[in-house]
Amino acid sequence: MPRTLPPLNALRAFEAAGRLGSFSKAAEELNVSHSAISRHVRGLEKRLDVLFFRTKNTGVELTEVGQRYLAEITPLFDGIALATEALAAPSKGTVTLTTESTLAQKWLVPRLARLKQAHENIDLKLSVNPQVMDVEAHEFDIGIRYLRTEPPQDHDLLFPSTVQAFAAPGFITMIDGQVDLRALAEGPLIQDATFRLWPEWFARTGLASVGPLDLPHPLTALLAIQSAVSGLGAVLMDKHLCEPEVQSGALVPLSPVSIRYGGYYLAINSQARRRKSVRAVRQWLLDESQPTVN
C-alpha cells in the first residue's frame, strides 16, 4: 500500500520555518527565496486543511497543530540526515568553540593533537574569552562553561570540578609521608578567585581548631597556578587545570581530600548540532573527559 506523503519540498520548507521560527531564516538555510518558503508552507496548509503559522508583527509563530506536527517530523528528518551521513565521507568542516583561557591552556590545547589524529578533516577554531559566551547569540558551535549551579537540560557534563590542594615539591613539611596540616594552615596560602575553599578544605581534612587563615587577595586561576609552581604557596585548584604541572612534576597534590565544586559543561548551538563535524567534536570531547571522571 503506497504511503500518503505530502511533497518533500513543502515538508522541508515547513520544518525549517518551524524549527527556525522564521521564513527568512528557512529560506537562507535551504538556499531558496522567502516567497518559495511561503508558497510551499501555504500549499501544504491548503493540502492538509490546517493552519500551521500565525502572522504577527514580528514575523510568524506556530499554531498548536503546527507545533505538534513539527515535533513529529523533525526527528524523522534528523534520522534521514544521520542515515545519509553514515554513508558519506568522514566528518569535515570548520567547528568553532569558545571557552575560558585556563581550561583552554591547561586541558583542551594539550589534547588537540589527538583531535587532529581522530578527525584530520575537521578544523577547530578556538575562541578564548574570560567571559562566558552565549553560543547561540555569538554563533559559536560549541561552548565549554564552568557552572556551579544545575545546568540547562541540553548541556553535557564534561567533568565535575574536583578541587584539591597543590604545591611545588618540597614546599611543605611532611610527617611520615603526610602533609603537616598545621604548618600548611600557617601559610603561605594562595587563593584562587573561583575556589575560595580553604576553610572548608581544612575542615574536611579533620584538622581541629584551625585559627583564622591568612588568605591573600584572590588571583586568576593561571596566576594562582603559576604562583604555586614558583613556590610562593599552596593553592586549591581544580585538578583538571593542574594536569600539565602535575604530569611534569612542577606541582604535587598535598592530600587526597577533595571538594566537588560545580563542573564543566558542553553547550551546543541548537542549529550547529545538526552538523556531522560538530557532533564528532562533541563526542571527542566527551570521550577525552572520561578518564578524568571519578
Where are any strands of DSSP class E within 14-141? 53-56, 59-62, 93-99, 122-128
Considering the domain architecture, whether residues 175 and 55 belong to the same structural domain is answered as no
Considering the domain architecture, whether residues 59 and 97 belong to the same structural domain is answered as no
What is the spatial distance between Cα 37 and Cα 31, in angstroms, rounded to a whole number? 10
Q: Beta strands 142-147 and 259-268: pairing type?
A: antiparallel
- Count Cβ atoms within 10 A of the Cβ of residue 214 and give its class: 0-12 exposed, 13-18 middle, 19 or more buried: exposed
What is the spatial distance between Cα 255 and Cα 267, in angstroms, rounded to a whole number? 33
What is the spatial distance between Cα 253 and Cα 95, in angstroms, rounded to a whole number? 35
Look at residue 294 in the predicted model and tell me its pLDDT: 44
Considering the domain architecture, whether residues 284 and 148 belong to the same structural domain is answered as yes
Given a contact cutoff of 8 angstroms between Cβ atoms, the answer to whether 181 and 207 are in contact is yes
- Check which CATH number belongs to the domain holding 168 and give it: 3.40.190.10
Residue 3 forms part of a structural domain: no
Considering the domain architecture, whether residues 137 and 21 belong to the same structural domain is answered as no
- Among 252, 109, 92, CA closest to 169: 252
Considering the domain architecture, whether residues 166 and 47 belong to the same structural domain is answered as no
Q: What is the pLDDT along the chain (294 residues), one digit of tens a residue?
A: 677 788 899 999 999 999 988 899 999 989 999 999 999 999 999 999 999 999 887 778 899 999 999 999 998 988 887 777 767 655 678 899 999 999 999 999 999 999 999 888 899 999 887 666 677 667 789 999 888 887 777 788 999 999 999 999 988 776 666 888 888 888 799 989 888 898 899 989 887 677 777 788 888 999 999 999 999 999 999 999 999 999 999 999 999 999 999 999 998 888 788 788 898 999 999 999 886 444
What is the spatial distance between Cα 85 and Cα 76, in angstroms, rounded to a whole number? 14
Place of cell 566537588: 260
Place of cell 509563530: 61
Considering the domain architecture, whether residues 145 and 205 belong to the same structural domain is answered as no
Residue 102 domain boundaries: 93-158+263-292
What is the spatial distance between Cα 184 and Cα 192, in angstroms, rounded to a whole number? 16
Number of domains in the chain: 3
Considering the domain architecture, whether residues 52 and 142 belong to the same structural domain is answered as no
- Residue 6 to residues 54, 102, 261: CA-CA distances in angstroms? 21, 52, 52
Look at residue 127 in the predicted model and tell me its pLDDT: 87
Q: Does residue 149 sit in helix, strand or coil?
A: coil
CA angle 43, 46, 48 (to 5 degrees): 110
Considering the domain architecture, whether residues 104 and 65 belong to the same structural domain is answered as no
- Check which CATH number belongs to the domain holding 30 and give it: 1.10.10.10
Residue 26 forms part of a structural domain: yes
174 membership: H or E segment, kind and range: strand 174-175
Is pTM, for the whole model, over 0.85?
Answer: no
Considering the domain architecture, whether residues 149 and 168 belong to the same structural domain is answered as no
Residue 106 forms part of a structural domain: yes
Look at residue 272 in the predicted model and tell me its pLDDT: 83
What is the spatial distance between Cα 173 and Cα 171, in angstroms, rounded to a whole number? 7
Look at residue 285 in the predicted model and tell me its pLDDT: 94
